[in-house]
Structure 1
Amino acid sequence: MTRIELSGEPGKIFGKIHHRLINKVSEAGTALAKTIPGFESYMISSKSRGLTFAVFKGKKNIGVDDLGFPVTGEVIRIVPVIIGGKKAGVLQTVLGAVLVAAGAVLSFTPWAAASPFLYKFGAAMMLGGVVQMLSPQPSGIASKQSADNRASYAFGGVTNTAAQGYPVPLLYGKRLIGGAIISAGIYVEDQQ
């Protein structure tokens, strides 16, 4: 029997701890949906309520590719995650609200001429902060610690610095800069 723990709101509604006889991690959700009334409809409607779910096998957060792995006695935890919930843009939204409030206060003082500008800048900062909180941001090159970002001597640059969302330089004239590898391939042919 595998122990399946539901955290957050699903744990409050359907119970925190469940034991099911499953072979793969992906069968946990199916087993709960077939044995708990209302669980399947709750999971289906969760995206419209702003929730998605993270699955943990033991203490490791696993992805979609790992759901087919066999269960080896670890606890499987299903944890709700708020869509768009991250720290990016919070400070910008708060500063924008402060600027709008300052513009409202200054409209009754001798510096009233500055209040329309503060309104505009504050509203733009608040909108930008909200957009940052709701939209996914590509992880930068600095946080990328994979084999794709190691030094490459097969191509022009020392390190592959191109990532999703970054600008690609265009070359006019002679090559005086390092190239950004967007796509590369090596083909090996057997020669006899």
Structure 2
Amino acid sequence: MKEIMTQIHLGGSLGKIFGKTHNRAVKTTSEAIRALCCTINDFERYLNNSKARGVTYAVFRGKKNLGEDDLGFPVSGEVIRIVPIIIGSKQAGIFQTILGAALIAVAFVASFTPFAAASPFLYAMGASMALGGVIQMLSPQAGGLSVKQDADNKASYAFGGVTNTTAQGNPVPLFYGKRRIGGAVISAGIYAEDQQ
């Protein structure tokens, strides 16, 4: 493979902190990420700590969104864009997202370290991240207060919640301990009884 001078655009908070545009002579997208980690102070630490801040990343080469498997393909002079996305946002389910820690792991694995490839811990971590991503894409997202569409949906303290904002088909949370928030009504019924 031949090294090609490639332009790398960092979006959002990455662009504000580390600069929006960088040029590096690289062969692959993962090598571009590794080059940024080696040449920009605190870039690697920022990517490693992004999951704790609730941020994940989408990587694009040209207009194509790349998955983890695509990072090792050769670059062809197209612009590489790394865009931060908030974990749990609807965009995170649409794009194939890559956590900051996975970006660095792929960059180091691409440099052919046998220890990283043989580590069962990395396999387990990769599988759990992939499974979590699939579950996030398949599960419906609660609309929150935007679900409230009727004028009849007024405040009700009957079941411990301030307003009835639940809708059919949303995931049901499972709580342990004391409840300090409004609940979701799963089933309710009324029956009439004669009193004599």
Short-chain TM bin: 0.5 to 0.7
Establish whether residue 116 from structure 1 lines up as the match of residue 157 from structure 2.
yes
Task: Measure, in 2, the Cα distance between the counterparts of 1:72 and 1:98.
Answer: 53
What corresponds to 1:68 in structure 2? 72
Q: How far apart, in 2, do the equivalents of 1:70 and 1:53 lie? A: 20
Cα-Cα RMSD: 3.3
Which 4+ stretches in 1 moved above 6 angstroms? 128-132
Q: Which residue of 1 aligns with 2:146?
A: 94
Amino acid paired to 1:76: I
Partner of 1:18: 22
**Cα distance 1:116–1:80, how it changes in 2: closer, same or farther (>3 A)?**
same
Report whether the alignment pairs 1:51 with 2:55: yes
Offset at residue 86 of structure 1 (A) = 1.0
How many residues are treated as equivalent by the alignment?
Answer: 120
Is residue 30 from structure 1 mapped to residue 34 from structure 2 by the alignment? yes
- Structure 2, unaligned stretches of length 5 or more? 92-139, 174-196
Structure 2 residue 162 is matched with structure 1 residue 125: no
Identity %: 49
Contact preservation (8 Å) 1:97, 1:122 = no
Contact 1:24 1:70 in 2 (8 A): yes
1:4 aligns to what? Answer: 8
Report the TM-score when normalising by structure 1. 0.53
Higher normalized contact order (CA 8 Å, seq sep 6+, divided by chain length)? 2
- Over 3 Å counting, the alpha-carbon distance change for 1:121 and 1:129 in structure 2 is farther
What displacement does 1:31 show?
Answer: 0.4
Report the CA distance shift for 1:9/1:16 in structure 2 as closer, same or farther (over 3 A).
same
TM-score, length of structure 2 as denominator length: 0.52
Pairwise CA distance, 1:92? 4.3
Q: Return the letter of the residue paired with 1:54.
A: A
Relative distance call for 1:84 and 1:54 in structure 2 (3 A) is: same
